[in-house]
Every structure is written in structure tokens, then in C-alpha cells.
Amino acid sequence: MKRTAWLLAAATLSACSTLPQATSTDLYQCDWGSGQIDLCRYSSNDARVQALMSEMSLDEKIGQMTQSVWHRRSVSPEIIRDRRIGSIIHTQGPTPGPTALDWIDTFDKFQRQAMQTRLGIPLLIGVDAVHGQNTFEGAVIFPHNIGMAATRNLDLIEQAARITAIEVAGTGFNWTFSPCIAMPQHEHWGRVYEGFSEDMDLTTAAVIASIRGHQGDDLSDDSTVAATAKHYIADGGTDGGIEGGNATVSEALLREYYLPPYQAAVQHGIASIMVGFNSVNQINMHQHKYLVTDVLKNELGFDGVVMTDWNGGIRFGEPHTVINAGADLAMQPGNHYQFMAELKASVEQGVVAQSRIDDAVRRILKLKFALGLFRNPFGKRQLSEQVGADAHRALARQAVRESLVLLKSANQALPLKADDRLAVVGVHGHNTGLQSGGWSINWQGTRENYRGATSIYDGVKTVNPDTEFAPEGCYPDMPAEKVVVVVGEDPYAEMKGDSDQLELRDSHKDLIRQCKALDKQVIVVLISGRVLLIKDDLTHSDAFVAAWLPGSEGAGVADFLFGTDGFTPTGKSPYAWPAKFEHLPLDQHAPHALFPYGHGLQDY
């Protein structure tokens, strides 16, 4: 629709609403859309949804069920308009620019094209903001969920999600694919850190807090975004901890353990649920009609949007197998044409019922109305200045210090003092990328410092300016008497993190032993996305701290180490720690654990 036609269409609705004055770069719109249907006539969103659907062609409906991916440049604003695609995602790859307003400008171009289609249906714009707006360099990145659960502070989890929602909205998005409900059962799995805990009750409570933070009391509020519970279901319980593998589970275990957090998410109004790459009892979840349609939708009463994971609309077979199983929206990176053509053919051949298409589209449109996108589809520019704000960083710093778990404390090594002769040892100690893990700036994380973040060394040096940084380790005649040895895993995500190597690498073990051999007091800070085999390393330390993946605010680790402002340790492990490799996978209540579930010294 050309600009003049847009204005004429909007003018016909002036009796129903007041037209706001647009900026020079925005278009006018009435309160209820810019398409050819007078939505102002209807008093409820359900009626507006039905009015739109009564006018939609099959192509337009399938467009709403399709999500394309911006980062591979597989979709242009014009393609959005011409193919009536209803959703896009940005994740890995080229960014829209260095500032939050650059990102909003980019996504607004897509939104304008969507609003110029015949029916003027706005876009859902999604992002994997799983621990803060972690795709935008300069946003606040919180500890990964494993660390947030270690805080046991549900108010803090809710506040972190609230800040994430503001920074997501302030960079042009209206939808996040978080929180992750997985309750990982295998330390081998490369996504352990995405789940809150192996404990069902803690996971359920944390998920409820996260939903409240992201979605608030009203999804149409500018500072809220739609949240997504993932990955339905039992993705953390696959045999051997293999990403996308098969979970062999009984019906009883499924209902007693894996289902309750999703039931709670549904009861607390989660907007969308993403199905997993994994299978349950040899049936892939993208094609598991019993668990998706019969249990999730019919039994639990979920009335939101069920979406696929990456390329899920065709990854496991023809689109009809996924749509008939109950998925409403398919994430199709660079191959949306194939998905749309094959799904249309299936409908025309009667393989997919028109009622299944209509149910999916109704759910998608209902979410768009709930988000207020027909009233205000564009990026929330007024929130862009809050991205990376000092107040947001202060809360993330609090989350870091509360998430750290003190596993060992001896010889009065902690708390550190401002006049101690100190050194921070190891590359991880002064690298914000390494301390943040996967899903930080990039899908697989980054091994470099990124904008706005502070390293652990930065934080320690602020309190003790004479602190030395020794990336290669301790050495003879080193002035420091106490050394903070920062060791751990390098960033990984998804299948790249699946591993049987669950000990510190030899070079990191050597850092600890070398410093102890030089008669230093050794405080080990472990950066990891899961519990590791550390029994031998503990013997060479005076204090040992599980720091998980703390994110952008390394100064929070310094707060913990120095006991800043009277702080004392509060973190409790969300997993049991294995003593031997043969004990893996380690049950939460195993009597032979090195440290039990919930362990954490509460005093130095």
C-alpha cells in the first residue's frame, strides 16, 4: 500500500480513534491497524482476529505461520511485504549496527513493509535473549540460568527478566525465546547452563519468576515482551546427554517430573512454547502429536503459540508432519519459500486440514493483538537509552555475587582485603567473553572482551589497584601472596558443548598446582556451564568458588571475594557435584556426591 493509500485507509477509521502524529520516518496508523479492515468496529481481540481471518487467503495464513531469519540476509523488507511473512528472528551474524537505535531503524523497515500488506498485519520480531539481550554488544548480560538458580532469589530472577525485556524492546524486538525449562540430567549435555536446575521445584519457581519479569501484567505495555518456554519436552533428559537425542522416559516420569514446569508456565500465561530437537521414546518432538496437541494444548489448555526450533518446519520431514502434530509457527532460516510451498500443497491436497491452519493463525494473531502490535508495531525508541544502563548493570552485579557458590574455604584465604598483595592468574580472569559463555554476542559466544562489560580482574583491581594480572601463571619471586586463579571452560552452545571431557584441562590444573607449589594462598574461581570433576583440584586450593558463567559484570565476582559492604556468600548449588567420572550421570540425591545438591558455604 502506498503512503497516500495508507493515509486514506487510516482516515476512514478516524471516527473510532485519534490518529497520532508520526515522526518524519514513521507512517500514520490508527489504533487498530492500517489494513483494509475496519478493526475499530470490534470490541474484543477475539472478534478482531476472526474479522482478519475471514478475509485472509491461504497464502496469507501460511505467511503468518512462517518465520524467516534476518541474520543470513535471507529476507528483505520487500519479501516480507510480497510473501506476507508474519515473523522474523535475528540471532547470529551481521548486526543491524552499533547502536540500539540502529537496530530499531532496521527492524522498523521490515515492520513498515508488513504494515503495507493488504491486511496490515504487523510482525513478530524474535531474539534468543536467554541471559539478557545477549545478541547486542553493550547490553547487560546476566549470569546464565544455572547461576541465576544458584542465587535462590526469585525476586532477583524476576527483576533480571524485567530488565531483559526492557533491553530487548529497546533494541527493536517484541519476543524472546526464553526461559529454558530444561532440567538437565547429564553433565555431558552442552546446554546444561541454559536450564535453571536439575530440581523440578526450583526450576518451576524460577520459570514463573522469569515469565512475570518478561511479560509483566500486560503484554501490550511497551516495556514487556512475549516469553517462550523451551524446549518442550525432556530435552535435558536425553539418553547420554546428547543434544537432540532421544529421551527414554515413562509416562509416569514425564508427568511427575518433566511436565509440571510447563503446566506452571501455561497457568502463568506464557505466550509461546518451543518444541525441542529431541525425541521422546523415539518420536521427535516436532512430530509428537500426543505430547504437543493432546497433552500441551488439549490437556493443559495452552492457547498460545507453539513454535518449532531452528529449521524445524522441514528438518524432520515434510511440513505437514510438524503442523499436524501441533506446531503453529515454523522458524525457517533461508528456506521459507520451501516451507510455504510444501505446506500449501499439503493443504490443497487435504493432508493438512484447513481447521489446523486456522487454529495456528488464530493463535498467532491473538498474540500480536495481546502485544499491542496493531496499535504500535514499531520499536520502542524511548527504551533504547536504557540499554546497558547503570541501574541494570547494578542489578546484574548483584546477581553475580549472589550466584557464586563457595565450595571450600580454608586458611582465612577469604575474604580478600584491599591491602593484600594480590594477583589474578589465568586468561579467564581478564576476558569478558570467556566469563560469559555461549549465547553471548554470538551463538557460540566470544573469546574476546566485549563493549560495556567488566572482567574479574577489572573488578579486583578497582578494590586493590596494585593487583597484578598474570595470564600465564605464577612465577618465582612473584610479589603476590594471594592469587585468584580463574580457570574453566571456553564458550560453547548446543551440540558444540556435548562432551565427555568434564575435568579442567591440564594447563588449568597446572596453573593451580604451580601457584600452590610457590606457597601462595590459592583462591580458585571456576568458570563453567556445568558441574565438573574437581576433587583433585580442590586439594591444591585454599578456597574454591563455583562462578558458573557470570556474564558482563565481573565486578560482582570481586564483590564476593572481598565481601564488599559486608556481603557474605549466599549461593547454593543447583546441581549435585560428582566425585568420579563413573558416577555420571549423577542423580540429584546421590549419597556419594562430592557436594550435594544445595551445597554452598554461607560464611568465609
Residue that the C-alpha cell 493443559 belongs to: 300
Q: Is residue 87 part of a domain?
A: yes
To the nearest whole number, what is the mean pLDDT of the chain? Answer: 92
CATH number at residue 215: 3.20.20.300
Q: Is residue 53 part of a domain?
A: no
Q: Which residues, in sequence order, are CB contacts of 403 under 8 Å at separation 6+?
A: 143, 147, 148, 150, 151, 547, 548, 550, 571
- The DSSP element (H or E) to which 310 belongs, if any, is strand 305-310
Give the pLDDT of residue 34: 60
Q: Is the pLDDT of residue 351 over 90?
A: yes
230-257, pLDDT tens digit by residue?
Answer: 999 999 999 999 999 999 999 999 999 9
Judgement on whether residues 322 and 451 belong to the same structural domain of the protein = no
Which active-site residues does the annotation give?
309, 494
Tell me the residue range of the domain where 7 lies: 1-41
d(C-alpha 431, C-alpha 454), whole Å = 8
138-185, pLDDT tens digit by residue?
Answer: 999 999 999 999 999 999 999 999 999 999 999 999 999 999 999 999
Residue that the C-alpha cell 505461520 belongs to: 65
Q: Is residue 300 part of a domain?
A: yes
Give the pLDDT of residue 558: 98
Amino acid at residue number 257: Y
Residue 473 confidence class, pLDDT cut points 50, 70, 90: very high
As a whole number, mean pLDDT of residues 539-551 equals 98
Give the pLDDT of residue 70: 74
Judgement on whether residues 128 and 22 belong to the same structural domain of the protein = no
C-alpha neighbours within 13 Å on the C-beta side of residue 74: 22
521-537, pLDDT tens digit by residue?
Answer: 999 999 999 999 999 99
Q: Is the pLDDT of residue 18 over 80?
A: no
As a whole number, mean pLDDT of residues 209-213 equals 98
Overall residue count recorded for the chain in this entry: 604
Q: Which residue has the higher pLDDT, 188 or 75?
A: 188
Judgement on whether residues 334 and 433 belong to the same structural domain of the protein = no
Give the pLDDT of residue 432: 98
Judgement on whether residues 103 and 219 belong to the same structural domain of the protein = yes
Q: Which residues, in sequence order, are CB contacts of 26 under 8 Å at separation 6+?
A: 108, 378
Residue 73 confidence class, pLDDT cut points 50, 70, 90: low
Q: Is the pLDDT of residue 458 over 50?
A: yes
For the chain, percent helix, then strand, then coil, each to nearest 5? Answer: 40, 15, 45
Torsions phi, psi of 517, nearest 5?
Answer: -65, -25
Residue 43 confidence class, pLDDT cut points 50, 70, 90: confident
Q: Is the pLDDT of residue 27 over 60?
A: no
Give the pLDDT of residue 8: 27
Q: Is the pLDDT of residue 93 over 80?
A: no
Give the pLDDT of residue 32: 57
Question: Would you say 130 and 443 are in contact if contact means Cβ atoms under 8 Å apart?
Answer: no
Judgement on whether residues 346 and 435 belong to the same structural domain of the protein = no
Q: Is residue 55 part of a domain?
A: no
Q: Is residue 56 part of a domain?
A: no
CATH number at residue 437: 3.40.50.1700
Amino acid at residue number 77: P
The pLDDT > 70 percentage for the chain reads 93
d(C-alpha 175, C-alpha 390), whole Å = 24
Q: Is residue 298 part of a domain?
A: yes
Q: Is the pLDDT of residue 75 over 70?
A: no
Torsions phi, psi of 84, nearest 5?
Answer: 55, 40
Give the pLDDT of residue 536: 96
Among 385, 419, 440, give the residue marking a domain's end.
385
Judgement on whether residues 342 and 418 belong to the same structural domain of the protein = no
Q: Which residue has the higher pLDDT, 403 or 1?
A: 403
d(C-alpha 358, C-alpha 62), whole Å = 10
Q: Which residue has the higher pLDDT, 296 or 333?
A: 296
253-292, pLDDT tens digit by residue?
Answer: 999 999 999 999 999 999 999 999 999 999 999 999 999 9
Strands 279-280 and 283-284: antiparallel
360-389, pLDDT tens digit by residue?
Answer: 999 999 999 999 999 999 999 999 999 999
Judgement on whether residues 465 and 348 belong to the same structural domain of the protein = no
Residue that the C-alpha cell 508432519 belongs to: 321
Give the pLDDT of residue 111: 93
Give the pLDDT of residue 71: 60
Q: Which residues, in sequence order, are CB contacts of 391 under 8 Å at separation 6+?
A: none
Q: Is residue 172 part of a domain?
A: yes
Q: Is the pLDDT of residue 48 over 70?
A: yes
491-511, pLDDT tens digit by residue?
Answer: 999 999 999 999 999 999 999
Judgement on whether residues 381 and 447 belong to the same structural domain of the protein = no
d(C-alpha 526, C-alpha 485), whole Å = 8
As a whole number, mean pLDDT of residues 543-548 equals 98
Judgement on whether residues 33 and 103 belong to the same structural domain of the protein = no
Judgement on whether residues 371 and 511 belong to the same structural domain of the protein = no
What is the separation of C-alpha 519 from the centre of its chain, rounded to a whole number of angstroms? 42
Residue 74 confidence class, pLDDT cut points 50, 70, 90: low
The answer to whether the pTM exceeds 0.85 is yes
Give the pLDDT of residue 83: 84
Judgement on whether residues 319 and 224 belong to the same structural domain of the protein = yes
As a whole number, mean pLDDT of residues 443-452 equals 96
Judgement on whether residues 32 and 76 belong to the same structural domain of the protein = no
95-109, pLDDT tens digit by residue?
Answer: 889 999 999 999 999
d(C-alpha 256, C-alpha 491), whole Å = 33
Q: Is the pLDDT of residue 64 over 90?
A: yes
Residue 452 confidence class, pLDDT cut points 50, 70, 90: very high
Q: How far is CA 54 from CA 25, 47, 51, 58, 326, in A?
A: 32, 11, 5, 11, 22
Q: Is residue 594 part of a domain?
A: no
What is the number of structural domains in the chain? 3
Q: Which residues, in sequence order, are CB contacts of 597 under 8 Å at separation 6+?
A: 198, 199, 573, 574, 575, 576, 588, 589
Nearest to 451 by CA among 465, 441, 461, 466: 441
